């Protein structure tokens, strides 16, 4: 009986400590920036199948990104992308490399802490294959609600 009363007493004593912590005390990040960028090529393997579904496994090859000029003031990212040489690991073969084009690559970006990113002007969401022959616009929204429009442009694509 005494142990039960001690548990309740401890709970009551902890209540002010728990109530002192609130979401308002957490910082509201105001940065709405793109901090890094990378491009990939994804394809369905012709040799590897998922053991459960029997569907082809998705493979991915990171493309070489140079430049990566990120201008926080202007809200622009300008990059050059090059397709690496085929390798003999059984995945990124010359036949697969020949399929890579600026029309079917995937973009991934790093953004400010606690921010979100959404496509603008009819662009696709990041992470899916898209046509990068033209600039793409995105809206980055900071945790505090600050919004910034960004434009990502590939200035060159080398194979």
What does the pLDDT look like over 16-28, one tens digit per residue? 655 555 556 656 8
pLDDT at 15: 57
pLDDT at 28: 80
Query: Please, what is the average pLDDT of the chain?
Result: 88
Q: Of 42, 74, 64, 56, give the one whose Cα is nearest residue 158.
A: 64
Q: Who contacts 24 (Cβ-Cβ below 8 Å, separation ≥6)?
A: none
pLDDT at 87: 86
pLDDT at 25: 60
pLDDT at 14: 61
pLDDT at 142: 96
Which CATH class, in words, describes the domain spanning 34-158? mainly beta
The residues facing 119 across adjacent strands are: 138
DSSP conformation class of 54: -
More confident residue, 47 or 13: 47
Cβ–Cβ < 8 Å for 67, 153 = no
Span 55-108, pLDDT tens digits: 999 999 999 999 879 999 999 999 999 999 998 667 899 999 999 999 999 999
Burial of 143 (0-12, 13-18, 19+ CB in 10 A): middle
pTM of the complete model: 0.79
First to last CA, the chain: 77
Dist CA 30 CA 97 (whole Å): 41
């Amino acid at each position: 009986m005494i142990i039960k009363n001690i548990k309740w007493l401890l709970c009551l004593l902890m209540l002010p400590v728990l109530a002192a912590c609130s979401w308002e005390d957490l910082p509201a990040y105001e940065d709405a920036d793109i901090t890094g960028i990378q491009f990939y090529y994804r394809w369905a393997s012709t040799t590897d199948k998922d053991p459960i579904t029997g569907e082809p496994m998705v493979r991915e090859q990171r493309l070489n990104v140079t430049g990566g000029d990120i201008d926080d003031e202007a809200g622009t990212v300008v990059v050059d992308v090059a397709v690496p040489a085929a390798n003999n690991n059984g995945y990124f073969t010359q036949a697969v490399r020949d399929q890579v084009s600026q029309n079917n690559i995937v973009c991934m970006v790093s953004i400010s802490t606690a921010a979100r990113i959404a496509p603008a002007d009819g662009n696709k969401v990041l992470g899916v294959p898209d046509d990068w022959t033209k600039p793409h616009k995105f809206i980055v929204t900071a945790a505090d609600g600050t919004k910034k429009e960004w434009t990502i442009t590939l200035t060159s694509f080398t194979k």
